[in-house]
Amino acid sequence: MSKKPTPVNDHVASGAQDFDRQVSGLLQSMYGAVESEGIPEKFLDLLEKLDQAERAQLPVKDR
Amino acid sequence: MDISATNDTYSFKHDLLAQLPAMRAFAVSLCGKPDIADDLVQDALMNAWSKQSSFQPGTNIKAWLFTIVRNLFYSRMRKRGREIQDSDGLFTERLSVPPAQIANLDMQDFKTALAKLPEDQREAIILIGATGLSYEEAAAVCSCAVGTIKSRVNRARHRLQELLAVSGAEDFGPDARDASVTQRAFVG
């Protein structure tokens, strides 16, 4: 920021900010679309199995 | 009420469930392919479960899980070469996702450009721009310095700007001229 702002620099800066906003929006939209899909059944089953397997082994002392 | 305190593993399972949508979103964002992403998440879940004793309750489980997803992703990539991380097309396959058009950048162009970024830049801009992690947390996920994440994010932004300015050049006459000015301004 040592350079004096010129009209071109101002324009570039606001263009860059606008671009960053758009990129953020697109990233969040892409990510959010998957995040809002909910949890597929297979993962719920997997966690349930892992949990049950662990309970069956209790108590686990060493290791 | 809260499911807490039924036994020692309760909250870990509970926390994993709570983070699963984010893990999937991160995995898809990283590799661009939903089916491969879900394989990755499945392995990450089993991996996380097997080493849950190394997780310190009270610390950031999201960052911890993302680290596992990320490390698995890269170890698979190393095994398969570039098979699961190809430059064009993979992100575009995910276009069944609702098309988000923001101003003059559309999702398809954006995903194609994102897929062309070097991996370190892509993961940095995803972590910072989409996942809600802080720079410090993203740095922990990537095992690098905060300053490294910042510079990767900056390089990713500039590279995206170049890629999207070039691909959009014919579409937006006057904007294309502005974009080339912008590009030049960021070089060096």
**Residue ranges in chain A assigned as alpha helix (H):** 7-35, 41-57
Contact list, B22 vs chain A (CB under 8 Å) = 35
pLDDT at res. B181: 44
H helices of B32-145, where?
A: 34-50, 61-80, 107-116, 119-129, 135-141
Residues of B with CB under 8 A from a CB of A: 7, 9, 13, 16-17, 20-22, 24-26, 28-29, 34, 37-38, 41-42, 45-46, 49, 94, 97-98, 100, 102-103, 105, 107, 110-111, 125-126, 129-131, 157, 160-161, 178-179, 181-182, 185-186
List all residues 6 or more positions away from B71 whose beta carbon is below 8 Å from its beta carbon: none
- Can you give the pLDDT at residue B182? 42
Question: Over chain B, what is the mean pLDDT?
Answer: 78
Write the pLDDT tens digit of every residue in A10-63. Answer: 666 677 778 888 899 999 999 999 999 989 999 999 999 998 888 888 765 544
B43 φ/ψ angles, rounded to the nearest 5 degrees: -65, -40
Which pLDDT value is given to residue A38?
Answer: 87
Closest CB to B107 among A26, A38, A39: A26
Q: Are B10 and B70 contacting, i.e. CB atoms less than 8 angstroms apart?
A: no
- Residue B186 has a pLDDT of 42
ipTM reported for the complex, 2 dp:
0.73
In B, minimum Cα distance to A49 occurs at B46
Closest CA to B110 of A21, A50, A49, A47: A21
Q: What angle do the packed helices B146-167 and B173-186 form, to 10 degrees?
A: 150
Q: Is the pLDDT of residue A4 over 90?
A: no
Reported as a single tens digit per residue, the pLDDT across B34-75 is 889 999 999 999 999 999 989 988 889 999 999 999 999 999
Stretches in chain B below the pLDDT threshold 70:
1-10, 81-104, 166-188
pLDDT at B118: 94
Q: Give the pLDDT score at B156.
A: 96
Q: What does the alpha-carbon distance between residue B150 and residue B136 come to, in Å, rounded to a whole number?
A: 10
pLDDT value of residue B125: 97
As a residue count, chain B comes to 188
Question: Residue B172 has what DSSP assignment?
Answer: -
Cβ count near B89 (within 10 Å): 12
3-state secondary structure of B91: coil
